Structure 1
């Protein structure tokens, strides 16, 4: 099983390197398929995401692709929301089986939304750009409040399911800031995902939801996988990769919900 986990990390890292999405969306369902409990799968995947995306922050910062003001606004909502969600999970007096069912169904719903966001990403971006004037007429204060509320939503979803920080967060930023270059929004969301997944992951560790040995095996595969995938990015048409990824996520989401 150690080799299987390493290969799983390699495959997911490769896909993330090629498409920029799919880390938590793929890793958590894979861990569930291998019999890992939902709480442990989510907790382990959160720390896995924090470590792997930290390298992306360094690269994006070097190329000036991070808007730290937006990162701060998102974190202002997401980090407290993650802490509050962890507090609720800790004090929620329910049996483990009921908690696992809650996490699996929330995960399934989040996978559905992520799949839709991936499929209609270009249409959503065009819609946001067509209505950029409506957004630009908003005051900076109102835009800041909406950004913080977006962070709150992401904080709850990511803490419960370990997914959404990438695909959902980037689409939300596209809608709020349609005139900012795409690569800068992607870098900003990666920078925001690191503190969010780190806080949520450490919180799950405090709840005993981390398999440290499993985490090490996943990282052994994913780090070289991301490196290889990023260098092969563009080798397979995006119009083929993204729909295939979205269909796979939708199928997994349906199975988890049903």
Structure 2
């Protein structure tokens, strides 16, 4: 089984490298549906996995100067308290109970579908905003919207481990349409580091992290991400995103049904 987990980590890492979509939208459903890991343990383990991999990515983006730290700060104002509240909710209502497990399963499905929407319509949303600059938020309203977005993402990520990647990047594009793609990616990864770390710590407190599984996934994913990143230019992005969106839609349907 350990070799299977390593291979799965490699496969997900490769897809993340190819598409840039967060591993949570792929890894958590994979653990839940294919390997029968309980939803709570799948979420907790994936959060620990994400906190490690995203920390590495943030270091790289920081060296390149592609992190907007004032935006990271605003997102964290909303995301970190939301992660703590969501963890306390899981603790008080029994994170390992069957009913809560089913709630988490549905939360994963909703988060996966939101990722699909983000994949398919991010470009159209950005084009609309560029054509209607008067609709773009400014000043205090922009700051408040960023904090609220952080709170929504913090809740989604803590409960389902999904949201910090494609959904977070899409929200950043909508709020900051003038920000370059590199800075969107760097900022999205940077705020996710403390968020996933706090959420992972909360799941460790709840006892819902499988450390052997985590180690196996990391062994496979790190070379997978490297390989996928190297091959990204050779595969048409439109084809990859379409394939990924179709797969995730089927995953969400399977989770609900």
TM-score range for the pair, normalised by the shorter chain length: over 0.9
For structure 2, the residue ranges without an aligned partner over 5 or more in a row are none
Aligned residue number for residue 156 of structure 2? 157
Cα distance change, pair 144–3 in 1 and its aligned pair in 2 (3 A) = same
Q: Report the Cα offset of residue 134 of structure 1.
A: 2.5
Aligned residue number for residue 28 of structure 1? 28
Q: Report the Cα offset of residue 166 of structure 1.
A: 0.6
Cα distance change, pair 203–94 in 1 and its aligned pair in 2 (3 A) = closer
Deviations 1:40-91 (A, max 9, x none): 0000000101111111111111111110100010011001000001011111
Number of corresponding residues:
256
Aligned residue number for residue 211 of structure 2? 212
CA distance in 2, matches of 1:109, 1:126: 25
Q: Report the Cα offset of residue 28 of structure 1.
A: 0.4
Aligned residue number for residue 252 of structure 1? 251
Q: Are positions 1:78 and 2:90 aligned together?
A: no
CA distance in 2, matches of 1:84, 1:143: 24
Q: Secondary structure at 1:101's aligned position in 2? A: helix
CA distance in 2, matches of 1:93, 1:199: 19
Cα distance change, pair 83–94 in 1 and its aligned pair in 2 (3 A) = closer
Aligned residue number for residue 44 of structure 1? 45
Aligned residue number for residue 233 of structure 1? 232
Q: Report the Cα offset of residue 93 of structure 1.
A: 5.1
Q: Report the Cα offset of residue 22 of structure 1.
A: 3.9
Q: Report the Cα offset of residue 95 of structure 1.
A: 6.8
Q: Report the Cα offset of residue 101 of structure 1.
A: 0.5
Cα distance change, pair 17–95 in 1 and its aligned pair in 2 (3 A) = closer
CA distance in 2, matches of 1:110, 1:194: 19
Q: Secondary structure at 2:86's aligned position in 1? A: helix
CA distance in 2, matches of 1:15, 1:124: 24
CA distance in 2, matches of 1:22, 1:132: 29
Cα distance change, pair 64–35 in 1 and its aligned pair in 2 (3 A) = same
Aligned residue number for residue 146 of structure 1? 145
Contact kept, 8 Å, 2:115 with 2:167, in 1: the verdict is: yes
Give me the TM-score of the superposition, normalised by structure 1. Answer: 0.96
CA distance in 1, matches of 2:133, 2:71: 17
Aligned residue number for residue 110 of structure 1? 111
Q: Secondary structure at 1:35's aligned position in 2? A: coil
Give me the TM-score of the superposition, normalised by structure 2. Answer: 0.97
Q: Are positions 1:15 and 2:22 aligned together?
A: no
- Give the 5 Å matches for 1:193-208: 193-208=192-207
